[in-house]
Amino acid sequence: QVQLVESGGGSVQAGGSLRLSCVIYGYTLSPDCMGWFRQAPGKEREGVAVVDADARTTYADSVNGRFTISQQNIRNILYLQMNSLKPEDTAMYYCAAHWSRASCSYTDPSRFVRWGRGTQVTVSS
């Protein structure tokens, strides 16, 4: 059974930084696409960033230039480095993975078949 476990969330002031980690357990094949999503109270889940099997990355406009997604070479740990945090970045952050080369997009969360339980990020002004 594949499991994803996030860590690294916390409370920071605006302008600060956090690094989220997501460890993937129990897989036999490396995911073709891994990503970070977030959901704030009362809002829909939104995609943040994804990285595909060729290490190509894509970011939502709202975080482009501030966040960096990366993974270890053996692709069992996914990271999200978040800099210049804003209060509007406050949300529960989830990592997710899928095993399809057809698409790797943060705008298509339905393709992601394994999700972590999330880690809370709170940014105060």
Backbone φ, ψ for residue 31 (5° rounding): -60, 150
Tokens 């705008």, located at residue: 107
Residue-wise pLDDT for 6-33, tens only, equals 999 999 999 999 999 999 998 888 899 9
Q: What span, in angstroms and rounded, lies between the C-alpha atoms of 101 and 123?
A: 35
Residue-wise pLDDT for 59-76, tens only, equals 999 999 999 999 986 768
Structure tokens at 16: 């600060």
- Beta strands 10-13 and 119-124 are parallel
Residue-wise pLDDT for 29-38, tens only, equals 889 999 999 9
Per-residue pLDDT for 53 more than 80?
Answer: yes
Tokens 């600060």, located at residue: 16
